[in-house]
Amino acid sequence: MTHYDDAAEAARALAARQEDLANWRSHHPDQTPPSVAEVLDDQARNRSQLDRPFASAWSLLSGGYRVLACNPAGRPLPGAEPVGDTAVLLSTWDRWPDAIAAAAAGVDHDLVAAAVTDDGMEWLHQVAIDPGTKRRPPAEAPAAETIEPGWREPDDPRPGPQVRELAGVAVRLTEVTQTPPRLASATTAPGERGRHWGQDLAARLARPKPATSTILVWSWPAAEGGKTWHLPTRRVRAGVELLAALPYDGAVLAIDGRHWRVSWGSGLARRQALPLWLAPAFGGKLPAA
C-alpha cells in the first residue's frame, strides 16, 4: 500500500486511480450499473490506499463504529459530529485532511471510554470493594506447611472484603521514545557496589521502559426500569476522565509535549457492559421519572 506525504502528489495519484476506475467501467458495459453506495465505497476504498489519515477513518467506519475527527491530542475537533455514512466521511476528511480518526463514545454508539492514570486505577480498585464486605476482618495467611504452593480453596471462602469485577477492556497508550541503539556498551570494575559484577553491568545496560497509560472501555450500561443511563463526558476525578471518543488503533497522539501510541489489543469486540455499580461513581444518572 502506498501513502503520500505530499498532498499535491496524493491528489494526482487519486485522480489517476479515479480515471482508471472510470475507464474500466466504460469498457465493461455489460456489468451492472453501480449504485451510489457502490460508487462511494469505491471512492473511499481508493482513497484509503493513498491517504493515511482517511484510511484510519475508513477502517473504523468499516468496523461498524461511528467516526469522530479529532485533533492531535485525540479530542474532537470543534464542530465535528459522529459520522456513520461514507459520503459524509469523505467530506469530513476533505475538510480536516490530517484529523485523527476516533470511535465516538456515547449511548448511541454503545461505547464508554475512560482514561485512567495510576492514581485513577488505585481509586477504581477502592470503588470496586463491595460495601457490604468492607468491615470483614482481613484474611489470615494459611500456615505454609498446611497448603500446597499455589493452591487456593474453591470460591475463596476466607474472610476479607470482596472485590467486584470491573470487566473493562484495557486499551494501552505507550509513550513513543527514541529507538535505542541495537548495540550498547558499559564498563564495571571492582569497588563498593554491594552486588555482583554481572548485576552491576546489567543495571548499567538496562534500557528504561516507556511510560504507559490506560483507557478502559465498556459497552453502554444496561437500562433499568426502561430508563437509559446518562454518563457525562468529563473529568470524573483526578486520574479518571470519560472521553468523547476512542482514538483508532495505531494512532500517535501528541499530549503535553509527549507522544503516545494507541493499541486496542484484540478484546475490544468482546467488551462487556459497564457494571451498574460503577456507573454512579462515574457521575452516571438515570433520568428523572
Residues 149-165 pLDDT 10s: 555 555 555 567 788 89
Residue 288 lies in a domain: no
Is 80 exceeded by the pLDDT of residue 143? Answer: no
Residue 1 lies in a domain: no
Contact 100, 74 (CB under 8 A): yes
In the chain, the N- to C-terminal Cα span, in Å, equals 55
Instruction: Give the range of the structural domain holding residue 131, as residue numbers without chain letter.
Output: 112-282
Q: Is the dihedral of CA 229, 230, 233, 237 positive or negative?
A: negative
Among the candidates 55, 72, 103, a domain finishes at: 103
Residue 116's nearest CA partner among 49, 43, 172, 178 is: 172
264 compared with 152, residue with greater pLDDT: 264
**Residues 17 and 67 reside in one and the same domain:** yes
> How far, in whole angstroms, is CA 179 from its chain's centroid?
23
**Residues 166 and 188 reside in one and the same domain:** yes
CA distance 84 to 27: 33
Separation in Å, CA 150 to CA 115, 144, 227: 34, 11, 45
Q: Is the dihedral of CA 110, 116, 121, 122 positive or negative?
A: negative
Domain count, the chain: 2
Residues 22-33 pLDDT 10s: 776 777 677 665
Among the candidates 48, 68, 103, a domain finishes at: 103
What share of the chain in percent tops pLDDT 70? 74
**Residues 154 and 95 reside in one and the same domain:** no
Q: What is the pTM of this model?
A: 0.73
Is 90 exceeded by the pLDDT of residue 186? Answer: no
Among the candidates 37, 68, 103, a domain finishes at: 103
**Residues 214 and 76 reside in one and the same domain:** no
**Residues 127 and 91 reside in one and the same domain:** no
CA distance 143 to 135: 24
Confidence of residue 104 (pLDDT cuts 50, 70, 90): very high
**Residues 63 and 189 reside in one and the same domain:** no
**Residues 171 and 41 reside in one and the same domain:** no
Residue 289 lies in a domain: no
**Residues 11 and 67 reside in one and the same domain:** yes
